[in-house]
Structure 1
Amino acid sequence: MENKRVILAVALSFVVLLGWQFLFPPQPQQPAPIQQQSVTQNQNSNTASNGPVSNQFPDPITTTAIVSAKGTRLKVETPLYSAVINSQGGLLENFQLKRYKETIDPNSPDVDMVGENALNKAPMGLILNGIATWVNGVWAYEGNDLSLDGDKIGTLIFRGDVEGFRIERRLTFHADSYLIDEDVRVLNVSNPSGQGRLAFTTATKSLSSEDDQYNPTRIAWFGPEGLDTEDSRDDLKETGVSVTGALNWGAIDSNFFILALLPEFKEVTIKGKVQDDIFRLAAEKTVSLDKGIERKLACSYYFGPMDPVAMAKAPGDLGSAIDFGWFDIIAKPLTIALEWFNQYVHNYGISIILLTIAIKLLFWPLSQKSYKSMEQMKRLQPMVAKLREKYGDDKERLNKESMQLYKTYNVNPAGGCLPMVLQIPVFFGLYKALLGTVALRHADFITYLPFTDIIWLADLSAKDPLYITPIVMGATMFLQQKMTPSAGDPTQQKIMMLLPLVFTFMFLNFPAGLVVYWLVNNVLSIAQQWIITRKVKN
């Protein structure tokens, strides 16, 4: 009875944890008040030391108007992406990822990291002292369309005169990387200002659906205090974020894609905001702009997938943007193991099954001990019931006699519970890994329902559209409950039998890859439990 209560407590705790994840996705950790402030016109003294800070991005003229009137489109082609840069200030018109599609349809467009509506917010526009340089400047360019492959690099140069400042932007593109490196030179020719603020910017459409609680688009930044994020759209629309310090990078990201600014200067202000449903980001630096003095600043851009291998080529520890929260230490090794299996079978569904088997083998001794303990507890139930009849009114004596009974028969009341507790972090680690691994985006397992042309498990990062796997998973959980030694308390039995229904409901909208894992794990557990039950009976 005591063992069953412990198992029931663990199971209910598991349901609470899963339900909390389902109904209330974890909110990002709030940064320290000294480092982040609400963005208002009045900044505190912490940011005042770096010059006045404002999160009010200048409202540029529509980029399309600039393009048609003045700009020349320069194309950049690499094996990883195709991009269009406009000569009017070096604006980024589009950035299409060749290895990622918008939908599972192979004929769907490539993912565009900018998006049509974001053009009006001038991605990669340079802002100087609040001046939208692509609007107020007269620009020329040096270079031609680039077609890069192998390990080649190519450079485009944009030169402009903007209200007394002479600006040169040198953009370097890499064939084998999603990085764009920029070097900027600013010369004050005739502007009376001796102090200035130079900001590198980017902008993009939302990288995920606004109501996608598992995959929010957010503003993120990384510095000495680690990773911080803000994914509340209401807050980003109303106040935005403004963070000043020795920050490595700032980014707009989701589970699968990221647009990052990686400034090479130490003290920087990262500002982010949502305007007209467009995410905007700036990395701003206060610089001395005395007349006749040329200033040099550098910043890199990363526009691409949240791929740890690709992000490892970026500076500033950009790979830290891939974060699985509390279970990061478990999720990342599981992700590596999943990729290892996939390099041999070339199917992520099969890779998940193999990973499930590997995890099951790892926990096999613990599970075996758990099932054996439950069977032993079942055999002791008649004796426990007699003790309850005899000492029902004396709880202290009942506990003492019960423990003596367990000791006599060498049974640990918690033996059936501890192995389950140890496996819960692994489950959540895998849950995070499957939810946030870009390799699983649009990865298929069984594309069509057998003997039909109905799309089924064509995207392991999305829910099962036919709800077959979660329903079968619920059935396997019900079978497990029937096989598990039952407690004498009818109320507890009813609660335990309701758990499969609760889990099935929660798993209906979980990524199919996670459901496949849990389903296979259940099948293996049923087989193991059947084997151990037979051994104990014999």
Structure 2
Amino acid sequence: MENKRVMLAVVLSLAVLLGWNFLFPTPKTPPKPQEHSQADTPAPAPTPQTKAPVESLPGFTPTTGRLVTVKTPLFTAVLNSAGGVLDSFSLKDYRQTISPDSPLVNLTSEQARQKAPLGLLLNGQPTWQAAQWTMEGGDLDLAPGQSGALTFVGMLGDVRIERTVTFQADSYLFGEALALTNASGAPVSLKVAHTVAVEKLSEASESYNVTKVAYYGDSGLSEITDAKDLEKGVAEDKGITWAGVESNYFLVATLPQAPGYLAKAKLEGGVYRVALEKDAVPVPAGSRVEMPVSYYFGPKELAYLAKAPGHLTASVNYGWFDFIAKPLLIMLDFLHGFVGNYGVAIILLTIIIKILFWPLTHKSYKSMDQMRKLQPHMAQIREKYKDDRQKMNEEMMRLYKTYKVNPAGGCLPMVVQIPVFIGLYQALLNAIELRHAPFITHVPFTDIIWLADLSVKDPFYVTPIIMGATMFLQQKMTPAPGDPTQAKIMLALPVVFTFMFLNFPSGLVVYWLVNNVLSIAQQWHLIRKKA
């Protein structure tokens, strides 16, 4: 049947889209890969910053480096007084596994510390090693609504460095007021770079959740996952508003508060390192230059990202149908607010979508049934004009016109729904809301953990196997295509989809399973109504 060919094309296209995400989870948006050295790095025109003559400098007495702790309701940060380098950054609301005594997610590690997260480079020199440091302030314990600051003061030659880092109790965004003072009698030109560094933010087994470098500039959001490109180093200087390292769920980023910065990234020894660099910053003799910058260390939750400048919300990206995925996720959160279980919320959202598309789907099934009735006539035409393709097509069109049947009528309503299906698919695949969110925590009447985390695969593969079975049943209820090859391909699709979904997050599988069950119910209703 002609519409079956269109249907087959649609289904195979959908399978390719899903399979591509399975095999190649995050498409790379190519930056301009390039090596940058002090000699060949383009020097963006420095933006005039606050400069003031300094009549006299306060005394400076270096001290031995020590650790200082910042506690807020959202995180615990530990910094080293020798340069303000980050020692650890633990998120209080996120654990590494679903176990209640699992370690908190720490966005810094021993290996990453060697690359100096929150490090400051002056003319390529690591200030945390090359300068002498002291610190103003001590441990902070911030209650909701409070803020607090730490000031790290250093001397590197004749340049005095002041890094005042301000934390907010209710935000993962924190700011740094950097001040550079030239204590010499001659002007200096400085290359200034702010760095962040982090190990992988996802497990190697999570093929759909990869760690990548990301930045936002004049061309929008760019994401780089290719290890070979990152090991060579990449750079971009076109309108950078933020740059960092991300996974589906977490983001470590630095945000300049002025234009003209170069974003550089490199993968070294398993550590992703990103730097925001500004070259040729003039500091007149006896003057001071201020260069504010911000950082974000936290989950990719829109409520927190929206508080940050520089289009940081763009880091939450659901692909081609992002504009559909985000409203669906808002609806999912709304439903979760009522039922308190994301698994149940997914089921309810799937039902709502199915109800909204019920007329279109119903029209599709009716059109397919009309085409099924014409199958004998179509077979006769094919046999009669098998040697005259043009005449065969003319007779087919005359047949459709006589019986007022649109051969693509069974597929077009489904094509309209595909953006919604893919949008919800991307949202469920990437949403941090589903991370460690339970559905059916234990196998009924046992203490065996089952669907306790909707962001990971079903440990016993129960839901993907049932999903494949419902897809097979759905195929059997649909009139078979006249072409035997097409029929075999259609029957093979449930096996292909089952294989792909075995390692997908269980939340996504639940959505697809429920959608199949509802489609079967709708087809059965149509068949019964005809009988």
Q: 1:133 deviation in Å?
A: 1.1
Q: Measure, in 2, the Cα distance between the counterparts of 1:9 and 1:200.
A: 50
Q: Measure, in 2, the Cα distance between the counterparts of 1:163 and 1:29.
A: 42
* Contact 1:136–1:163 (8 Å) recurs in 2: no
Would you say 1:268 and 2:229 are equivalent positions?
no
* Contact 2:26–2:208 (8 Å) recurs in 1: no
Give the stretch that moved more between structures: 359-368 or 211-220. Answer: 211-220
Amino acid of the structure 1 residue aligned with 2:337:
Q
* Contact 1:372–1:533 (8 Å) recurs in 2: no
Identify which of 249, 253, 256 aligns with 1:256.
249
Q: 2:275 — aligned with what?
A: 282
Would you say 1:324 and 2:318 are equivalent positions?
yes
Give the stretch that moved more between structures: 208-217 or 296-305. Answer: 208-217
TM-score between the two structures when normalised by the length of structure 1: 0.92
Amino acid of the structure 2 residue aligned with 1:306:
K
Q: Measure, in 1, the Cα distance between the counterparts of 2:485 and 2:364.
A: 23
Deviation digits for residues 46-89 of structure 1 (CA, Å, limit 9, x no counterpart): x433499xxxxxxxxxxxxxxxx932221111110111121111
Q: Does the residue aligned with 2:202 lie in a helix, a strand or coil?
A: coil
Q: 1:497 — aligned with what?
A: 491
Give the stretch that moved more between structures: 417-426 or 95-104. Answer: 417-426
Amino acid of the structure 2 residue aligned with 1:198:
V
Would you say 1:16 and 2:16 are equivalent positions?
yes
Q: Does the residue aligned with 2:491 lie in a helix, a strand or coil?
A: helix
* Contact 2:159–2:181 (8 Å) recurs in 1: yes
Amino acid of the structure 2 residue aligned with 1:385:
A
Give the stretch that moved more between structures: 92-101 or 424-433. Answer: 424-433
Q: Does the residue aligned with 1:160 lie in a helix, a strand or coil?
A: strand
Would you say 1:389 and 2:383 are equivalent positions?
yes
Q: 1:463 — aligned with what?
A: 457
Amino acid of the structure 2 residue aligned with 1:203:
A
Mapping for residues 45-444 of structure 1, pairs under 5 Å: 47-50=41-44, 70-190=64-184, 194-210=188-204, 212-237=206-231, 239-286=232-279, 287-444=281-438
Give the stretch that moved more between structures: 514-523 or 458-467. Answer: 458-467
Identify which of 460, 463, 466 aligns with 1:472.
466
Deviation digits for residues 266-294 of structure 1 (CA, Å, limit 9, x no counterpart): 10011111122111111112311232111
Q: Measure, in 2, the Cα distance between the counterparts of 1:40 and 1:264.
A: 23
Q: 1:193 deviation in Å?
A: 6.6
Q: Does the residue aligned with 1:514 lie in a helix, a strand or coil?
A: helix
TM-score between the two structures when normalised by the length of structure 2: 0.93
Q: Kindly, what percent of the aligned residue pairs are identical?
A: 54
Q: Measure, in 2, the Cα distance between the counterparts of 1:106 and 1:264.
A: 39
Q: Measure, in 2, the Cα distance between the counterparts of 1:310 and 1:471.
A: 38
Q: Measure, in 2, the Cα distance between the counterparts of 1:495 and 1:191.
A: 80
Q: 1:497 deviation in Å?
A: 1.0
* Contact 2:143–2:169 (8 Å) recurs in 1: yes
* Contact 1:166–1:187 (8 Å) recurs in 2: yes
Amino acid of the structure 2 residue aligned with 1:132:
P
Q: Measure, in 1, the Cα distance between the counterparts of 2:382 and 2:45.
A: 75
Q: Does the residue aligned with 2:374 lie in a helix, a strand or coil?
A: helix
* Contact 1:115–1:204 (8 Å) recurs in 2: yes
Give the stretch that moved more between structures: 300-309 or 197-206. Answer: 197-206
Q: 1:42 deviation in Å?
A: 7.5
* Contact 1:163–1:191 (8 Å) recurs in 2: no
Q: Measure, in 2, the Cα distance between the counterparts of 1:243 and 1:5.
A: 46
Q: 1:16 deviation in Å?
A: 2.2
Q: 1:191 deviation in Å?
A: 8.5
Give the stretch that moved more between structures: 187-196 or 372-381. Answer: 187-196
Q: Does the residue aligned with 2:391 lie in a helix, a strand or coil?
A: helix
Give the stretch that moved more between structures: 423-432 or 146-155. Answer: 423-432
Q: 1:523 — aligned with what?
A: 517
Amino acid of the structure 1 residue aligned with 2:128:
W
Q: 1:123 deviation in Å?
A: 1.1
Amino acid of the structure 1 residue aligned with 2:396:
S
Q: Measure, in 2, the Cα distance between the counterparts of 1:327 and 1:512.
A: 21
* Contact 2:158–2:182 (8 Å) recurs in 1: yes
Q: 1:37 deviation in Å?
A: 4.1
Q: Measure, in 2, the Cα distance between the counterparts of 1:493 and 1:293.
A: 79
Residues 245, 415 of structure 1: CA spacing in aligned structure 2 closer, same or farther, 3 A cutoff?
Answer: closer
Deviation digits for residues 262-320 of structure 1 (CA, Å, limit 9, x no counterpart): 11121001111112211111111231123211111100111000111110111112111
**Aligned positions, number:** 514
Q: 2:477 — aligned with what?
A: 483
Q: 1:451 deviation in Å?
A: 2.0
Q: Measure, in 1, the Cα distance between the counterparts of 2:137 and 2:15.
A: 60
Q: Measure, in 1, the Cα distance between the counterparts of 2:465 and 2:226.
A: 33
Q: Could you list the structure 1 runs, at least 4 aligned residues long, displaced by more than 4 angstroms after superposition.
A: none
Q: 1:390 deviation in Å?
A: 3.1
Q: Measure, in 2, the Cα distance between the counterparts of 1:40 and 1:107.
A: 45
Q: Does the residue aligned with 1:460 lie in a helix, a strand or coil?
A: coil
Q: Measure, in 2, the Cα distance between the counterparts of 1:388 and 1:317.
A: 58
* Contact 1:72–1:86 (8 Å) recurs in 2: yes
Q: Does the residue aligned with 1:373 lie in a helix, a strand or coil?
A: helix
Q: Measure, in 2, the Cα distance between the counterparts of 1:413 and 1:174.
A: 61
Give the stretch that moved more between structures: 253-262 or 487-496. Answer: 487-496
Deviation digits for residues 312-349 of structure 1 (CA, Å, limit 9, x no counterpart): 11111211111122121121111111111111111111
* Contact 2:25–2:210 (8 Å) recurs in 1: no
Q: Does the residue aligned with 1:245 lie in a helix, a strand or coil?
A: coil
Structure 2 alignment gaps of length 5 or more: 47-62
Q: 1:58 — aligned with what?
A: none
Q: 1:109 deviation in Å?
A: 0.9
How well do the aligned residues superpose, as a CA RMSD in angstroms? Answer: 1.8
Give the stretch that moved more between structures: 485-494 or 266-275. Answer: 485-494
Q: Measure, in 1, the Cα distance between the counterparts of 2:153 and 2:172.
A: 24
* Contact 1:375–1:536 (8 Å) recurs in 2: no
Q: Does the residue aligned with 2:191 lie in a helix, a strand or coil?
A: strand
* Contact 1:137–1:162 (8 Å) recurs in 2: yes
Q: 2:34 — aligned with what?
A: 38
Q: Measure, in 2, the Cα distance between the counterparts of 1:257 and 1:184.
A: 26
Would you say 1:28 and 2:24 are equivalent positions?
no
